[in-house]
Amino acid sequence: MKFSTRADMEAPAGRVFDTLSDFGAFERFARRKGVEVTRSAGGGAAQGWNLRFTLRGRKREMSVRLTDFERPERMNFSAESKSFNLEFTLTLIALSKSRARLSVELDIRPRTLSGRLLLQSMRLAKSRISRRFEAAVQSFAGKLERGEFGGPLA
């Protein structure tokens, strides 16, 4: 199942990309939200993380890898959990010197029968889930603009 959306920001694309690639800031943000984060690989394009978190009352684990890093326009991430494989792409487009567009794509694929059943039920509510995904990306872009993951971008 695929989801995609975009958000425009009042900030230069280069600064937005620099903020997005500050993985330490995102690790700290995740820890404040209760996620256990450990790095699984060295620096650079081989970056990886193991995540442990509680979702819907159950402990979950996920491993995330940075699979592609093309400064200053794209980052691809691959993630695996017990039931799903996820591909996540962030793309930045400079609209002008002071405006940028962040495009976010998420592709979820089942690994198990229970994952397949959950994904099938998600398909029935895809329009509602798509709206929530879009709202989450808009909120994330607003937090980036306000400097909640580092300094202000504008």
User: pLDDT of 126-145, one tens digit each?
Assistant: 999 999 999 999 999 988 88
Give the global pTM.
0.84
Taking each helix axis from N to C end, the angle separating 13-20 and 126-146, rounded to the nearest 10 degrees, works out to 100
The CATH T-level fold of domain 2-146 is: Alpha-D-Glucose-1,6-Bisphosphate; Chain A, domain 4 (3.30.530)
54: left (phi over 0), alpha (psi -120 to 50) or beta: beta
Question: How many helices (H) does the chain have, and how many strands (E)?
Answer: 4, 7
Rounded percentage of the chain residues whose pLDDT exceeds 90: 64
Report helix, strand or coil for 77.
strand
CA distance 26 to 37: 10
Give pLDDT tens digits for 94-108: 999 999 999 999 999
